[in-house]
Each structure stands twice: as C-alpha cells, then as structure tokens.
Chain A
C-alpha cells in the first residue's frame, strides 16, 4: 500500500485533514500536535511572564507597595512551575514533534495516539495548577522546590499542585517514550546514529533523562502528599522524618531536569550555527559525546544545590569536584560552536542572531555556574540573587533564546511564509539588550547580600533593583513582537521555498516543500 500514513487508508490527497475543533482534539498528526505544544508553551510563557512582572513591579522600590508577601510567594512559586513545566519543556516537545520526524525521514511519531494524549493532559494539569490561585489561601507559596516542612504548611492548593505535577510528569514521560521509540525505530534507511542531526541526538539523550528522573519527582511529591494527608513522616521531622532527604530526592530529579531544559537548546543551536556559517558543525562526534557526558554527570552532582544543609566534608568535596567537571564537556561544546563559525561565511538572519546571543549569554551563565560549584564560595552565593542571575542566564538567553532561534529557523517551514525579518531583528535587539539589563545587575545584588525570594529589601539594594525591573518590563513587552511576527507569518508573507534559507541548510526537513505537507515521508527517503 502506497499510502501507509493514516486513518483514511483510501485517501489519495495527502493534505486531507479533519476541520474545526475535531482536528485538534483527535489529531494524531505530529505537526498538529507540535503546533499545539508550541502554542500552549507560548501562552504559558506569557502567563509565567506576567507573574514575573508582578515580582519585578513589587521589587521596583523598597517597601511593600503592590502585593501581600504571601501572594508574592505564590507568584514566585507559580512563575517557576509554569515557566519550567509549562513553557520551556512543552516548547521543546513541540519542536521535537514537528522536527524529529522531518529530520529523520519518518512519516510521523512512533506512537501517535499517545502523542495526542501526552499533549492533552497538559491543559488539564495547568488548569488545576492555576485554579489554586482562586482557592481560599491562594496558590502554592513554598517555592517550586517544595521543600518540606514549609510546603506541608500549604493549604488547599497543596493537593492540586501535586496532582498537577503528577500529570505534567506523566505527559513528559509519554513524550519522552515517543521520542526514543521514534528515533530508534523510524530513521530513514541509511541514517545511522552518528548521522542523526544534533537536535535529534540531544533530544534522544534528554528523553532518557526524562524517563529516569520524572518518576523520582513523582515519588518525592507523593511522599509529600502522604505526609500531608495520611500522616506519614517521610519528611516531617515531628514524626521522625527527614526534611533533608526530600532535598536529596528532589535534586536527584532537579539537576538532570536542568539539563532537560538545556540539552535540546544545544541541539537547536548546533543546527543553526552551521547553516548560517555555511560549513558543517565542527566536531560532530565530540558534540555527541559531550552531550552524553553532561547527561551522565548530571546524575552525580545533585547535592551542589544544597551545600548549606550541612553535609560531611567528603560529601561537599565530591559534589564540588563532580560539578566542576561538568565545565569540561560544556566547554567542549562552546569551543566547537565557536570553531564552527571560524573560517565560515557568516550571515545574520534572526535565527543566527538568537543563536549567537545564546552562545555569548549561555557562556556567561556557565561562568557563574562554575563559580557556584566552588563550595566555600557557594556558601556566600547560595540562595542569593547571584543564583537567580545564574539560572536565568542559562534559562532565558539560554533555553528560551534557543527556542526562539528554533522558531525563527523553522517557522517558514511550518507556515510556508517568510516572516518579517526587520521586525524579527527588532525583537532580537530589544530582547537581547533588555535581558541583560534585567539579569546582569542581579549578580551584583546577590554578591552584595540580597537573598532571593524576598518581597522587600534594604534600601542599599534599590538602584540595581530599579535597573533590573526596567529591563524586565522592556523584555516582557518586547515578546509581544514575537507573537505578532508569528501571527503575521501564519497568515501571509512571501512564499518560502523548500530550502527556506539561501544558506543551503542541510537536513531532510529542507527536502520537503514549505509549508510541510500534512503528511510527509510516506515513502522513506534514502540517506547516503
């Protein structure tokens, strides 16, 4: 049968699809599901961003002017949960859904019905989570890390938050299984593992991380749940439980999670930099091995998040040294990207601009990460704005910029239209400048002594907070441009060619027309 693709076996028209709501509710098409993931992620990016602006508004000046301290804590907790589980992770899954089948020459994801399920769990999960804000007592306010005993003091929101996390975890695991099965089984003939595009490689490794650690998170929050409702004492010291044990379990999930949020970003950047340097990625094999090393190391560094809990000296030394070691494969990646540009022929389309900003700013986040690894110095940095600056540098101009780079890179492939390059460059410059105005001063605040997660501060910290808040508002509102550019490109614009970029990008995704037809690679392509 020539048409192996779908539910309508005799359908000759490959672009046939159901219309209206049903198309989106029941779809098993990787492109539709990818689109839904991306739109959902964008929506959550704005919800989480609005919460960040509440935080920056309150911190604009000393004193408590706008929100109650309890509500402030809800905002910082929800901001983190929504940005991590609602924006960055679904955005990567969306990109995986769209691009992995196109990059490996597969007609769809391996498990399309599960694919639909894993997406449609998310709106329910986040409805549960956000509904907590309207409960008596409000949303969770103990930080996204949910450290007991504080989190056990949570009110009605507690159970809803945990069920929401269970659902997000289930969704992530299903997404990860799908990625692994697809990449392992559905590559076009001739595409050996060491010919996989790097985006697929980094996602493959990320998927294994997800499967390894999401159950650990589920276990940790379930124990919290039983401590709260069934009077167990896993973590409750009043019953002989151990609150530090929660931190160990949480960060055993949490540190690999950090790489879940960045490895696919590495993959995207590894696609874009070679394209606009017009030469192949330097050190492909080294990049694959470096990614695998980072993933492996991510399991043995977790306690660097908790140097201050009072570990034995040997423990501190082990976690300090293992953490420093991560700088090696990460450095290899940065050097390889730089060498990819070396003796290339560079042009600066929006995806390349975002990728280059990623390269610079992620590296700054890497430097502060190295500083944080040094345990004696971490006693000073820990839980201050220095940490906030560090992880926002790796997550915003790191992960988020890479996602934006990916969107600008593949958007014409999805919509069939080129987007407004001039506006996209405006978006780039506004974002890049404001993100630094937003986060760079936070290094100073933290070093000088401002703890994180505080609603109010001593007047000594006013100046840098004002600067940071101004950066925050400019950054936040600049993102409206991003939506406008995508919207416009979806509706109209110059017709994109199959190759989209005159830089002649390599990869199977550029062999199908733009927009990519509803069904692609019904017949597997040959890869030399």
Chain B
C-alpha cells in the first residue's frame, strides 16, 4: 500500500472532524457511554438533593438572621439549649438520605468495575509526557503526543494567541481510534511516574501507575472525537499530554485497523529509516515510532533507570 493511500484513508478517518471540545463549560458532560450517562444522572441527583438540603438549612439561617435581630428588638430564648429529640431527628434523616444516595451509587460502581466480555483491549501506557497505545493481539502500537501547533503555541511567551490554534492543547499527532458500540477495555499503566487517563465524555478516569496495570472500560455509542487530559501531576509538562479518542463506525475501524497493520508491517519489513519517513510525513502519524525507539528526548537518567525493570515486569 502506498503512503499516499494511507494518507488518504487516514485523512478520511481523522481529518474530517476538525473542531471538537468538551461538552460544555460549566457542568459534567452527559457523555456518550451508558456509564457516563449514569454517572451524570448520579451527579445531578446528588446535586439536587444538596440543593434541597441547602434550601432548608440556608433558609433557616437566613430566617434567623432576618427575624432574630437584636436591632429589631429580638429577645433571646435562653431556654432553647438542647433537645435530644431533635438531635436524633437530624441524625436519622441524613442517614436515610445518605442511604438513598448510596444505593444507586453502589449499583453504578458495580457496573463500572465489570470489565468482562470486552471486544477490544487496548493497553495505555503513560510516559512523561505522552501516551502510548497498544492494540492487544493486533500488533499495532503507537505514541500519541500533543500536536505541533499547540506545542509551539504553548511555549513560554510564544507570542501565539491560543485562540487561533484549533483544539488548543487538545489535539494529538495520533488519535486513539476505537469502534462505536463496542465494549473496549483499556489496560492502563505507566513507564515513569504516575499519570491518569481521563476522557470526560466516557466517564473513565484511571491512574496509570508504573508497576501496576489498571483496568477500565467504555462503550461509546456515538461517532465523534472526544478529548481528555492527563489528570495526575506528572512533572513539568503535565498540562501538555492530551488524550484524543476518535470513535468511528465499525467498518471504518476495520479499514483503519487493516491499513494501520499494513503500514506497521511495511515499516518493520523495510530498513528502519527510509520508508518510515514518508509514512510519517504523509499521515502525520509516526506509526514507526513504536517499532523504533521511544522518541522522548526529555526522559531523564532517573526515568530510564525506572523504566527498564518496570517494562520487564509488565
């Protein structure tokens, strides 16, 4: 397959969705998975319970402040000092409210932890400061780094207005591509320090911990591009290791998978340096990076020390 054809396919799959964003700017996203909708529902349920409690509690406070003012001649009722009855009441009622929250929360939690019967497994590895994705059993793996326009604009006093950069800080060179309506299991780990893999619209956040493999899953029900970010402080460029998941139709995914495999094989078969370059240039996707060396130039000596045994352990 020619580099041009790969580029065309990838452009079709990746290039189409240009601007995307978090779902809104003020509330938890409803998201695009059954779990994210449930979590959003739970969030709103508890929010409204809190609002109702607040109306009563703040109402009583405001009423007291307004009604029992010394300046209005209020006389203190010094006998009102204790009542076992009300203490019991305002202990028991909150317990009941908490139980009513705990039941749906437990139900959702059990679903979240059920990672059985996944149709696709992807290993996610956090590095300072990029992600690596391995499609298990598919022989495909690649790094995913923040895209160049953002990376140039985010430099100290770059002089570039972030508003002119599309998907500022939220675009990557290689997106994680997954099929729609498919239970995808992610196995999350890290190679140097702790990171955390978060995609708000999937309600998936799991720490990537060196020496551990964590599990999470999602089943996206809507084709689209969903951004996320690392959510565990991981050093200097913590703010600059975005996650971009592209959910495509099952057919597009099969096509993408086949092309990607072909590209990987081609790159592996040929001498490392030459064919890698056009593929990378054309598709803006260094598929060969996985096959060659980790491209991180910033990994310190200490990290390399850490990295080797951990990789072996995994």
Contacts and interface: CB of A to CB of B under 8 A. Distances in A.
Interface residues of B, number: 108
A282 B81 contact: yes
Contact of B78 (A69, A141, A143, A280): A280
B113 interface: yes
B194 A327 contact: no
Interface in B229-256: 229-240
A308 B303 CA distance: 23
Interface in B193-213: 193-194, 196, 198, 200, 203-207, 209-212
A285 to B, nearest CB: 7
Contact of B209 (A243, A278, A449): A243
Contact of A444 (B25, B205, B232, B313): B25
B42 A374 contact: yes
Contact of B58 (A308, A343, A363): A363
Interface stretch (A12-20, A332-340, A391-399, A469-477): A332-340
Interface in B42-92: 42-43, 46-47, 50, 53-54, 57-58, 60-61, 64-65, 68-71, 74-78, 80-83, 86-87, 90-91
B236 A69 contact: yes
B71 A384 contact: no
Interface in A317-345: 317, 320-321, 324-325, 327-328, 331-332, 334-335, 338-339, 341-345
Interface string A228-270: 0000000011110111100000000000000000000000000
B193 A153 contact: yes
A420 interface: no
Given A342-B80, A454-B229, A459-B163, A324 B102 contact: yes
Contacts of A454: 229, 238-239
Contacts of B229: 449, 451, 454
Given A310-B215, A379-B203, A282 B61 contact: no
Contact of B305 (A238, A382, A448): A238
Interface stretch (A59-67, A201-209, A423-431, A508-516): A59-67
Contacts of B47: 371
Contacts of B105: 320, 374-377
Of B69, B101, B157, B238, most buried by chain A (CB within 10 Å of CB) is: B238
A286 interface: yes
A453 interface: yes
Contact of A279 (B60, B80, B106): B80
A367 B196 contact: no
A254 to B, nearest CB: 15
Interface stretch (A104-112, A218-226, A460-468, A517-525): A460-468
Interface string A305-321: 01011100100110011
B78 A328 contact: no
A143 B215 CA distance: 26
A325 B94 CA distance: 9
A279 B39 contact: no
Contact of A379 (B83, B161, B204): B204
B170 interface: yes
Q: Determine the interface band of chain A, counting residues with CB < 8 A from chain B.
A: 35 or more
Contact of A64 (B90, B155, B196, B211): B155
Q: DSSP majority for the A interface?
A: helix
A141 B110 CA distance: 36
Contacts of B65: 341, 346, 356
A73 interface: yes
A351 interface: no
Interface stretch (A27-35, A47-55, A144-152): A144-152
Contacts of B86: 335, 339
Interface stretch (B9-17, B26-34, B284-292): B26-34
A347 B69 contact: yes
A62 B162 contact: yes
Contact of A370 (B26, B46, B168): B46
Contacts of A306: 207
Contacts of A350: none
A447 B200 CA distance: 9
Contacts of A65: 156-157
B302 A277 contact: no
Contacts of A142: 233, 235
A338 B22 contact: no
A283 B98 CA distance: 23
Interface in A178-192: none
Contacts of B239: 69, 451, 454-457
Contacts of A341: 61, 64-65, 68
A69 B298 CA distance: 14
A345 to B, nearest CB: 4
A463 B26 CA distance: 10
Contacts of A282: 80-82
Contact of B64 (A244, A342, A453): A342
Of A238, A338, A360, most buried by chain B (CB within 10 Å of CB) is: A238
A456 B169 contact: yes
B309 interface: yes
26 contacts: A73-B233, A142-B235, A147-B232, A152-B302, A237-B209, A237-B306, A243-B209, A279-B76, A284-B81, A310-B206, A310-B215, A324-B101, A325-B98, A335-B90, A338-B61, A343-B76, A345-B69, A345-B76, A359-B61, A370-B101, A374-B43, A376-B108, A449-B227, A451-B239, A455-B239, A459-B163
Closest 6 CB pairs of A and B: A237-B211, A454-B239, A310-B214, A343-B77, A341-B64, A444-B26
